[in-house]
Structure 1
Amino acid sequence: MNTTEALQRFEEIANHYIHELDHFSMDQLKRQPSENEWSLGQMYQHLINSALYMQLRNIDHCMESRGDSVATAAEITREVAAMFDQGSFPPVRIQVPPSPQYTPKQPESKELLIQGLNTVIRQMKQIEPTLEKASLQNTVSHPRFGALHAKQWFLLVEMHYRHHLLQMDRLKKALESTV
């Protein structure tokens, strides 16, 4: 998938997340199915924060080409290369143990979630046209996937949002079972 297609798909998915908010009260957005699982609101926070403070920031680092935070052309694993070739994460649940550094806070309001998603959409639209001049040699390491270049970080945003649709479905079912 090219970056133009990824941007279009990302916008559709992000707008889907925005429209889904109409179906939930704040209580529902904050309800965790269990002590070790995120609420829908925490999932939204995760999507917004990971895009704004990791993925999009790392695109900027790749585009800057300074030597301090940018690694030069490192190999990614065969599994990660296959993931990018397929254009999606494997459909498996990924769980990280709860921790203050990783577990998102509960949302303060639906309005802030909508603002956050719209900010990500706006930044994705601003970044996409600049990617054609991005060097594939400038990479920033991802904790699980290895060194990614700017275009890969950009594609990762869409794949990440799409992957979390599975979590959203699971959390919606959990809410329905408690009614």
Structure 2
Amino acid sequence: MNTTEALQRFEETANHYIQELDGFSMEQLKRQPAENEWSLGQMYQHLINSALYMQLRNIEQCLTPSEGSAAPIVVKTKEGTAIFDQGSFPPIRVHVPPSPQYTPGQPESKEQLIQGLYTVIDRMKEILPQIEKGTMQNTVPHPRFGPLNAQEWFLLIEMHYRHHLLQMDRLTQFLEGSA
């Protein structure tokens, strides 16, 4: 998939997340299936924050490297290679132990989530032309996938949002069963 297709697919997925918010109350968005599992609202926060503060920031680092900020291309991990070869994350549940650095906070409002998703969409649209005309020689390492260039970080955002649709389905089923 090229970056233009990825942006279109990303917008469709992000708009799906926005439309789905209509069906949930704030109480539902904050309800956790278990103490160590995220609520639907926390999942939304994770998607927004990881795109804005990790993935898009790393794209910018790849496109405008400063002394020592972006590394030259080296080899991806086996997992990173597999994800980009498949064009998606495997349909498995990833569980990271709760921690202050990783666990997202609960949302304050639906409007906060909607605005966050629109901000990510806008930032993706803004950065796409820079990716298409930029060099792909510089990389920033991903903790599990190894070094990724600007285009790969961009594609990763779309794959990440699509992957969390599985979590959304699971949390929606939980909410329907606990109503």
**TM-score with structure 1 length normalisation?**
0.98
Contact persistence 2:77–2:144 (CA under 8 A): no
**2:122 paired with 1:122:** yes
Structure 1 residue 62, shift from structure 2 partner: 0.3
User: What SS does the aligned partner of 1:148 have?
Assistant: strand
Work out the CA distance in 2 between the residues paired with 1:167 and 1:53.
21
Instruction: Report the equivalent of 1:173.
Output: 173
Amino acid in the other structure paired with 2:21: L
Work out the CA distance in 1 between the residues paired with 2:142 and 2:80.
11
User: What SS does the aligned partner of 1:52 have?
Assistant: helix
Structure 1 residue 146, shift from structure 2 partner: 0.7
Contact persistence 1:134–1:151 (CA under 8 A): no
Once the two structures are superposed, the pairs formed by residues 9-28 of structure 1 within 5 Å of their partners are 9-28=9-28
Work out the CA distance in 1 between the residues paired with 2:143 and 2:72.
16
Work out the CA distance in 1 between the residues paired with 2:112 and 2:130.
28
Structure 1 residue 79, shift from structure 2 partner: 3.0
User: What SS does the aligned partner of 2:140 have?
Assistant: strand
User: What SS does the aligned partner of 1:22 have?
Assistant: helix
Work out the CA distance in 2 between the residues paired with 1:136 and 1:129.
13
Stretch moving more, 77-86 or 27-36: 77-86
Work out the CA distance in 1 between the residues paired with 2:134 and 2:108.
36
Root-mean-square deviation (CA, aligned residues, Å) is 0.8
Structure 1 residue 140, shift from structure 2 partner: 0.3
Amino acid in the other structure paired with 1:70: A
Structure 1 residue 82, shift from structure 2 partner: 2.3
In structure 2, list runs of 5 or more residues that go unmatched: none
Once the two structures are superposed, the pairs formed by residues 97-116 of structure 1 within 5 Å of their partners are 97-116=97-116
User: What SS does the aligned partner of 2:76 have?
Assistant: coil
Aligned length, in residue pairs: 179
Structure 1 residue 67, shift from structure 2 partner: 2.6
Work out the CA distance in 2 between the residues paired with 1:85 and 1:126.
26
User: What SS does the aligned partner of 1:139 have?
Assistant: strand
* Shift >3 Å, 4+ stretches: none
Structure 1 residue 51, shift from structure 2 partner: 0.1
Instruction: Report the equivalent of 2:96.
Output: 96
Instruction: Report the equivalent of 2:52.
Output: 52
User: What SS does the aligned partner of 1:157 have?
Assistant: helix
> Between the two proteins, what is the percent identity of the paired residues?
72
Instruction: Report the equivalent of 1:70.
Output: 70
Work out the CA distance in 2 between the residues paired with 1:98 and 1:77.
25
Structure 1 residue 137, shift from structure 2 partner: 1.6
User: What SS does the aligned partner of 1:141 have?
Assistant: strand
Instruction: Report the equivalent of 1:134.
Output: 134
Work out the CA distance in 1 between the residues paired with 2:159 and 2:94.
14
Structure 1 residue 24, shift from structure 2 partner: 0.2
